Structure formats: structure tokens, C-alpha cells
Amino acid sequence: MNRSENRTALITGGGKGVGAGVVRVLASRGIRCCINCNTHPDMAVETLRRVEESGGEGFVCQADITDPEQLNSMVQTVIDRWGRLDILVNNAAMQPNLFIDQYDAEKLRRLWNINIGGYFHATRACLPYLKQSNCGRIVNISSIHGKRPTGFDAGYAMTKGAIRMFTRELALELYEHNITVNAVDLGGCEIEFKTGNAPFTSSMPAECLNPAITRLRLVQPNEVGKLVWFLCSPDASDITGDGIRLDRGFVLI
């Protein structure tokens, strides 16, 4: 535990899966963590228990990231509790695994409100305090699906591609404030379940599937956490507007 740390972080969707892995690693480095959740508060409480058991500090805050008022209230809770906010990890997302003819207007709107709107509104809510930090960091969890077509869920892939451009634009806009903005392009990760328990289906022709894919080990949430920690460290102060792929070479196959 690095007791010299005096930074705080807000991790959206931090109660389970990738977000929980990020929380555990950051907290183990001495960073105080606001663990955001929405649909699974019980899992967020378990994540907090593990953090505190290991000597870390944090609290759970249930908020819908599509609602700017709830986001503003959550950020204010962080400020009231710790007086500062240094790191935002935009992670909360949904992956419906739908073909284009399975979407309707409402499903597409909800997807974009979470996967893009949530990142946008969370950043706006945190920005006044990130500008006050001497080590402001924003890390956007994206996906290799924003770079490589895989024959399923064009809607989800579009949101991940949009996150990459959002990251680049923010990096330029916030450069003068010494806030770095980077993305993690994540491949398959071993988590409890996808929100909504969406089944995986693909229209990719069988002859296009490389059998080597089945031999790849899934990325672990703590591995994502370690990369996020590095991007939030002083050693990464010259890295901004970048997208770092963490997929065990999936896109190479």
C-alpha cells in the first residue's frame, strides 16, 4: 500500500467486472475510490468490502450515469467527503449483442445514452475538480470492437469507435489544464456477466474465424486495473490522446 498517495478516483460501473478490477488495483496503491454502481449495488458493496479488507479506502455511490443530475450529486458527494477529485475512469457500459435488425429506436437510444452519454456527462461533472488537480487523469474504457469488425452488434461497435474520437478531442481540449486523457482498447475480459446477460451471436462466416482465437486467454480485470494505474501515474504524464490495446493479441489473428 502506497500511503503517500493523496488522490481520489471515481470509477463508473466500479462494482463488478472490469470496473471492480480497476477499483481494487487503484485502492491497493492508496487511491481513495468512489465505486459507482446502478443495477447491482450488492456487488459494489462486495467490492468495497474487499478493498477495505486490504487496507484501502472507498465508498459506494449508486447513480445512473445517463442522468446528469445524479452524476453531479455523486461528484459532489466525493468532494464533500474528500475535498478533491483527481481521476475519472469512464467504464460503465452495456453490450446488447444485437444485429442491426434487432434494434429499435429505444434500444439504440439507451445504448448511446449509456456508452457515449454516460462518458460525456461524467466528464462534464468531474471536470471542474480535475482542473484543480495537479495530476488530473481521465481513462476511458473502450474496446477493440471500435477498431476491428467482428460480425456482431454494429450499434455497440459504433459507440466504442466514438469513445476513441472523444478521447482524442478531450486530450487536445484539456492539454492546457495538464489533464491527460487516454483510452484502453479492451479485448475479451473474464468477468462475472455482461449487464443484461446478453447472449453472444455472430454473423461472421465460419471460414473467416481463426481457430487460434480459441487458444487466447481472456484478459483479467486486475490486468486492466494495472494499465489504468500506470496511465494515472506520474510516469504516464506524457501520454495523452492515446488508445492502448489490451487484448492478448486478438486483433492480430
DSSP state of 96: -
Identify the active-site residue in 103, 129, 156, 175.
156
Compute CA distances 75 → 12, 65, 68, 125, whole Å: 11, 11, 10, 7
Place of cell 455482461: 194
CA–CA gap between residue 97 and residue 132 (Å, rounded): 39
175 is catalytic: no
Set of cell numbers at residue 68: 446528469
- The strand pairing partners of 243, in sequence order, are 183
Q: Which of 41, 251, 44 is nearest to 160 (CA)?
A: 251
Question: Catalytic residue positions?
Answer: 156
